[in-house]
Amino acid sequence: MEYRIEHDSMGEMKVPADRYWAAQTQRSHENFKIGVGIETMPEEIVRAFGILKMAAARANHALKPEKMTGEKLAVIGKAAGEVAEGKLMDHFPLVVWQTGSGTQSNMNANEVIANRANELAGRKLCHPNDDINMSQSSNDTFPTAMHISAVLAVEDKLLPAAERLIEVLKALEKKHEGIVKSGRTHLQDAVPVAFSQEISGWRASLERDTELLKLAVGPLSELALGGTAVGTGLNAPAGFDTKVAEEVSALTGKKFRTAANKFHALTSKDEIVFAHGAVKAMAADMMKIANDVRWLASGPRCGLGEIRIPENEPGSSIMPGKVNPTQCEQVTMVAVQVMGNDAAIGFAASQGNFELNVFMPVIAYNFLQSVRLLSESIVSFTVNCAVGITADAEKMRHNLYNSLMLVTALNPYIGYENAAKTAKKAFRENISLREACVSLGFLTEERFDEVFRPEEMV
């Protein structure tokens, strides 16, 4: 491998000749060999750095044109744009497990953009610190990148995935109108419910989750940029924070604004904790939906067997013909991962000391992993399972009429205690509720048939 010599305030470093990064990135690359190639800084964070560096250059040009000249802005804008588009990911090798402020990743972005800008300019025009990092510090850029990436991930990945599943569930509700089945509470038989009503519970849960996520995006839209090192805004020109938020909004098409209190923005991560709570709520509901589906599809002969789901692949290497609810299982595993990530984010966010939180990379990593996994999990479940759910109406009817909890319909006519006696006799002697009620003398056959209408109990 060929190398070139780069230098920083600590001296010279050998850097791979075909990479845009420079001395500070190389130092981190060599000092933090933890999860190399596996747990690198998420691409969403890198892209967000491209967006914020371009926005900062535009704001600096407007406020400090003598330093951020039009010539510099042109090449920085192009280089930062390539980072934002994900075209230079090979030049971002750093791992999550680095300094807790994300300083090395900020400098990675500064160095890559500076060297690429200089390549475009054909000369040494831009300096990583003086130009790309102008009016910024790692302490306000990393939380800004974190918020930008979080908003984009939630709005562009998770919400569309959830909304697509909601539409599929609406179609399933309509398709299964009029089918009544046994309800279940505590995994025990309960009074009847329409299958469309059961599906509506799934759908409404996801609709509420999307509402909560949209509420969480509001606080995430506040940016720390302009607070610089400790929140005082030292070395940033007046109005930089407002201007750069406007530029980020223009570049992303999302509505961002500057944080009102930069001391809070640098040290507290409550917005991302709150937002991940909404992500976890959706994961919890997906866990519930997936479990309901696999319980209802259990069997095919010795389980509930009330619905059929798509058969996507063989379920066993030893039992021929076995098909498992694999899409439900991937959903439940993803949900568990999201719940674990939530604990990590909460612990990390509690560790802000004085003017800075130094657990930001792990917070960003876990948040973005949760959103990415849950988004892809929901899409997979929707396409490979939910769209193909069909009711076995005959099995539902059989289970419904075999349920002892239909005796609840008799409460107004024979009273709770007599209804309990009827149910216990039917269960003990393995006879129908009708036979038990009539033999106990509580109702005649004719009266029983008149008041016992399960389909009307929903």
Q: Which residues have a catalytic role annotated?
A: 186, 316
Contacts of 264 (CB under 8 A, 6+ apart): 231
Token pair, residue 447, equals 């009266």
Locate tokens 């999990």: which residue? 377
Separation between Cα atoms, residue 133 and residue 129, nearest integer Å? 5
CA distances from 274 to 35, 280, 324, 353 (A): 28, 10, 36, 20
The C-alpha R_g of the chain, in whole angstroms, comes to: 30
Contact 325, 297 (CB under 8 A): yes
A 10 A CB-CB count for 127 gives: 16
Tokens of 377: 């999990």
In the numeric block, the tokens 């209802």 are attached to: 296
Q: Look at residue 5 and give its three-state secondary structure.
A: strand
Neighbour-count burial of 327, counting CB atoms closer than 10 A to its CB (0-12 exposed, 13-18 middle, 19+ buried)? buried
β pairing state of 307-308 and 188-194: unpaired
Helix (H) or strand (E) holding 385: none
Q: Which of 12, 98, 93 is nearest to 46 (CA)?
A: 93
Closest by CA to 368, choosing from 96, 215, 146, is 146
The CA-CA-CA angle for residues 20, 21, 24, to 5°, reads 160
Return the structure tokens found at 43: 């691409």
Q: Is the peptide bond before 160 cis (omega within 30 degrees of 0)?
A: no
- What DSSP state is assigned to residue 257? E
Tell which residue, 386, 275, 279, 272, has the closest CA to residue 335.
279
Dist CA 415 CA 345 (whole Å): 53
Q: Which of 191, 232, 224 is nearest to 455 (CA)?
A: 191
Strands 188-194 and 222-223, how do they pair?
unpaired
The packing angle between helices 103-121 and 23-31, to 10°, is 140
